[in-house]
Structure 1
Amino acid sequence: MARATPATAALERAGIAFKLHEYDYDPNAPRIGLQAAEALGIAPERLLKTLMAKAGTNIVCVLAPSDKEVSLKRLAAAAGAKEAALLPPAEAERVTGYHVGGISPLGQRKRAASFIERAALSHATVLVNGGRRGLQIEIAPAALVEAIDAKAADLC
């Protein structure tokens, strides 16, 4: 059994059902989310990558299918900002308390406004990073949205 992370602890405190999946993390993979989906044998659109960005002056958390690219223009519009940009890895690690490759939308050091690709809500369950490299959390999209108070938007 995987050891607890701030992400799993947050879900347990909230009484939200989830399932853990461990896999062999490849630090040299060109696209970490796609490597995780392949290692777990799931469709890449069900595995959501966690990106940290700045929309205007606010830091935001973005969840998008691992096989899609986020439109920064669409993200800015969803966040009510003029522009958006991804955070540099070191800043994403500092604000979340997680390492790149293990950044979870759950249990972050400081809660950021969160946005989820609307298409992800059509799946029975999705997977998000569990708070460390090689750990994914399977959860119902509605429960994830509730847990992080995410806003659904067309981001990709």
Structure 2
Amino acid sequence: MSKKKNTHSTGTPATTLLDRESVPYTVHSYVHDPSVENYGMEAAEAIGVPASRVFKTLLVSTGEPGPAALVVGIVPVDRSLDLKAMAVALGLKKVEMADPAVAERRTGYVVGGISPLAQRNRSRTLLDASALAHETVYVSGGHRGLDLELAPADLQRLTEADVAAISH
């Protein structure tokens, strides 16, 4: 990964944030196949990296009113979000997956391209602890067919994420 900020910005809110914060990152673009439903595994295969290094951004509903009702979970694409672990990490009894339309409105991104970075409305964020085992991780850059490679510490800092074991 280059130590310089990327000069080939795609102009998404995520890349704009990374450029503004002078965070080193690498853009990985690929042609998205509209027939594919597992966007994360498609990205891992297209980029040619282990799926354990590619992270998906999921939103859960806490059932609470207001902005605290949605929380972001960032987990590897080869694993599932553990809703019980997510609830425990949040100090709640339970959480459930957010409606995709609600997730799109909240983040400003489309499902399959929801970036954890520069979402329209900031939500509390939990990053799966497995991310810290890698020098770099890959997350959506803001649309299908675009992933960004960056250090997990930068991802954690920019999303103000708490780290917890939230996948299985």
Q: 2:13 aligns with which of 3, 6, 11?
A: 6
Counting only pairs closer than 5 Å after superposition, residues 123-142 of structure 1 correspond to structure 2 as 123-142=134-153
After superposition, give the CA deviation of every residue in 1:48-75 in whole Å (9 maximum; x if it has no partner): 0110111342211111000001110100
Residue in structure 2 matched with residue 62 of structure 1 by the alignment: 73
Using the alignment, how far apart are the partners of 2:93 and 2:84 within structure 1? 8
> TM-score, normalised to structure 2's length?
0.89
After superposition, give the CA deviation of every residue in 1:60-116 in whole Å (9 maximum; x if it has no partner): 111100000111010011111121111111111000001111100001001101111
Gaps of 5+ in 2: 1-7
Residue in structure 2 matched with residue 108 of structure 1 by the alignment: 119
Using the alignment, how far apart are the partners of 1:55 and 1:27 within structure 2? 31
Identity %: 42
Residue in structure 1 matched with residue 4 of structure 2 by the alignment: none
**C-alpha displacement of 1:27:** 2.6
Using the alignment, how far apart are the partners of 2:39 and 2:156 within structure 1? 23
Question: Does the CA contact (< 8 Å) of 1:56 and 1:82 recur in 2?
Answer: no
Residue 31 of structure 2 corresponds to residue 20 of structure 1: no
After superposition, give the CA deviation of every residue in 1:107-137 in whole Å (9 maximum; x if it has no partner): 1001101111101110010000001111001
Using the alignment, how far apart are the partners of 1:3 and 1:152 within structure 2? 28
Gaps of 5+ in 1: none
Q: 1:150 aligns with which of 132, 157, 161?
A: 161
Cα-Cα RMSD: 1.1
Using the alignment, how far apart are the partners of 2:117 and 2:37 within structure 1? 24
Matched position secondary structure for 1:137? strand
Structure 1 residue runs of 4 or more that deviate by more than 3 Å after TM superposition? none
Q: 1:38 aligns with which of 33, 45, 50?
A: 45
Q: Which has the higher strand share?
A: 1
Q: Which has the larger Rg? A: 2
Using the alignment, how far apart are the partners of 1:12 and 1:80 within structure 2? 34
Amino acid at match of 2:106: V
